[in-house]
Every structure is written in structure tokens, then in C-alpha cells.
Chain A
């Protein structure tokens, strides 16, 4: 596959999944507050953003298989940085929480944004170096 085609497919897949994720998070939050707290419907709707997270990860996976080897190398490094940031934050702050009952608990929900924000920032920096 041509690199331009792979890029286009990746960005369109990622854009669709991201918009779906944002919309479903806002929707689930709204419905959780207004209508469905604790119900079966509430649990089902709160699972919907997870579907879009899976679609975003699938988009990255497919891009890894469709992109050329240089892009694949950069992407893998960026994902490793995302993973390191997530492990450092969760492990570090996890111990702080474990030994200090008075401190607030960070919801596990933030694992995904931490990973993807780091992944995105490192990818953008690597892309800038190549332009």
C-alpha cells in the first residue's frame, strides 16, 4: 500500500473513532447524571466508549501493518513512550495512594488518555524531525 493511502486510512479511522469516543463519553456522562445511574442500561452505555477505544487501537494496529518500516519504527517508539509514561504514572502514583489513605484516588479511566496523549505528542515530535 502507498504511504499516502495508509496515512489517509489511518487518519480517517482514527478521526471517526475519536469523535465516537468523545461523543459517547459525553453521552454516557450526561445519561449517568440524569437517567440511568446503576441500572443495566447505565452499565451498557458506560461500556460504549470502550468500543471506540478498541476501534482506535485497531486503527493503530492496522496502520502499523500498512505503513512503511520507518513510520512503523517511529510509531512503535512513540507507543513505547506512551506505555512508559503510563507505567511510571500508575506505578508511582499507585504507591503514593497505597501508603496515604487521605489522598484522592485517580480513576483508572485516565490510563487511556495518558497513554494516547503521550503517544500522540511523541509521534508529532518525531514527525516534525522528519519534515
Chain B
């Protein structure tokens, strides 16, 4: 699964640590999601989407499409 989390975070001017603080996850975990090494659970994906005011599918893209 691909995502544009890094770009969205850059738009806000947030560091990985700051984004992690808002999501209650570590900076390393933000990095793992941004690089696609880890696909977040549905609750975390919703949390990320709510934080950016977007839908989940605006941030995460299935590889099939």
C-alpha cells in the first residue's frame, strides 16, 4: 500500500516527531508508515485521516489501483 503521508506532513510543516505526538505513536513508527514498511491498522488510518481532514483513500492507495 502506498501513501502520501510525507507530502501531507510537509504541507503542514510538521516533523515526524510532531506528527507522532499527535497520533500517539513514535517518530520511528511515523517513518515506518511513510516509507511503506508498515501499513497502519484501520483505527490508526482513521486517526491519520481525521488529523489531516481527509478520507483514508485520499492518503492511502491500494497497490491494485
Point out residues on A near B: beta carbons under 8 Å.
2-4, 7, 68-71, 73-74, 127, 129-131
- For A69, give its contact among B21, B31, B37, B41 (CB under 8 Å): B41
Q: Nearest 9 CB-CB pairs, A to B? A: A70-B29, A130-B28, A3-B26, A68-B25, A70-B32, A70-B38, A130-B31, A68-B29, A130-B32
Count of inter-chain pairs, beta carbons less than 8 A? 40
Residues of chain B contacted by A2 (CB below 8 angstroms): 21, 24
**Is A3 a contact partner of B44 (Cβ separation < 8 A)?**
no
- For B24, give its contact among A68, A74, A127, A131 (CB under 8 Å): A68
- For B33, give its contact among A3, A70, A71, A74 (CB under 8 Å): A70
**Is B37 a contact partner of A71 (Cβ separation < 8 A)?**
no
Tell me the count of chain B residues lying within 8 A, CB to CB, of chain A: 15
* CB closest chain-A residue, reference B25: A68
With A70-B32, A70-B33, A130-B32 as known contacts, state yes or no: A4 contacts B41, CB within 8 Å: no
* CB closest chain-B residue, reference A129: B37
Residues of chain A contacted by B32 (CB below 8 angstroms): 70, 74, 130
Q: List 24 A-B contacts (CB under 8 A).
A: A2-B24, A3-B20, A3-B24, A3-B26, A3-B29, A68-B24, A68-B26, A68-B29, A69-B40, A70-B25, A70-B26, A70-B29, A71-B26, A71-B28, A73-B38, A74-B32, A127-B28, A129-B37, A130-B28, A130-B29, A130-B31, A130-B32, A131-B28, A131-B31
